């Protein structure tokens, strides 16, 4: 999918000098911020569809690539969950006035929760798409952890692209330090969780655990029985946009 009127690429400079690629569309708030998944970027079908909908509705939206991903500068292997969280916080602090609504896919859903904890006064709502909090805990076998400890990285084939799926020890350690599902997640804004029950990467039970741990009383979960991890079919994207629209109307 391509966007008929994409916003021009702009650059957000981190304190260490790395430039982050951002596409920002002005409009009414809260500003939608799309957070891609692991080894993904802002040009995916869900991000493009959300941007196109925002353009038609006159809604403000920001798409971005974390350092080392997509068009942003840096090495992917240098990125950690904490550093990518900080990339999102930098974008919110520098580029956006007023409240934001975070839309996070897979790892982006974990980041959305971490960002909301760091900026509770800015985050008006969260939509998670196959959100994957704590995947460094439940997504790795003992053999994986041993390989990380000895080799410093794991490379695996992935059906989602040509490049191998790389996990570094630094990323894994960062994820372990930012786990959320062992206690209450002190977030009070509305949260919507969309998850496919045919997801081979993130078990749908993670959505149930996340909903249970969130302090907010306004949490809704939608399970898509035949939905896979990507949730990028036309019907899935229609559900995402409908969920975002309803949430915006309520906040």
The verdict on whether 26 is a catalytic residue reads no
- Under a CB-based contact definition with an 8 Å cutoff, are residues 22 and 64 in contact? yes
- CA pair distance 45, 233, nearest whole angstrom: 9
The verdict on whether 106 is a catalytic residue reads yes
- Residues whose CB falls within 8 Å of the CB of residue 207, separated by 6 or more in sequence, listed in order: 128, 131, 193, 195, 221, 223
Q: Which of 87, 134, 199, 236 is catalytic?
A: 199
Q: Which of 72, 83, 106, 174 is catalytic?
A: 106
The verdict on whether 195 is a catalytic residue reads no
Residue 26 has a CB neighbour count (10 Å cut-off) of 11
**Cα end-to-end distance, the chain, whole Å:** 29
Q: Tokens 């036309």, residue? A: 234
Q: How many residues does the chain have?
A: 251
Token readout for 141 is 């076998």
User: Residue 76 has what DSSP assignment?
Assistant: G
Residue 100 has a CB neighbour count (10 Å cut-off) of 27
- CA pair distance 106, 129, nearest whole angstrom: 6
Q: Could you list the active site residues? A: 106, 199, 229
């Amino acid at each position: 999918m391509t966007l008929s009127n994409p916003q021009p690429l702009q650059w957000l400079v981190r304190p260490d000098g790395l430039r982050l690629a951002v596409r920002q569309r002005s409009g009414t708030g809260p500003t939608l911020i799309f957070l891609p998944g692991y080894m993904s970027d802002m040009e995916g079908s869900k991000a493009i569809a959300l941007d196109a909908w925002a353009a038609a509705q006159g809604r403000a939206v920001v798409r971005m690539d974390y350092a080392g991903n997509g068009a942003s500068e840096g090495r992917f292997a240098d990125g950690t969950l904490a550093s990518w969280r900080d990339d999102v916080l930098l974008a919110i602090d520098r580029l956006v006035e007023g409240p934001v609504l975070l839309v996070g896919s897979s790892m982006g859903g974990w980041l959305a929760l971490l960002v909301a904890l760091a900026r509770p006064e800015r985050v008006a709502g969260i939509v998670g798409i196959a959100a994957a909090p704590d995947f460094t805990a439940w997504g790795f076998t003992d053999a994986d952890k041993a390989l990380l400890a000895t080799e410093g990285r794991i490379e695996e084939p992935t059906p989602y692209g040509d490049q191998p799926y790389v996990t570094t020890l630094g990323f894994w350690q960062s994820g372990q330090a930012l786990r959320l599902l062992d206690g209450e997640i002190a977030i009070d804004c509305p949260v919507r969780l969309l998850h496919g029950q045919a997801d081979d990467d993130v078990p749908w039970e993670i959505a149930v655990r996340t909903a249970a741990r969130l302090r907010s009383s306004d949490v809704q979960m939608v399970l898509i029985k035949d939905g896979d991890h990507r949730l990028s079919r036309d019907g899935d994207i229609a559900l995402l946009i409908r969920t975002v629209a309803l949430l915006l109307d309520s906040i």
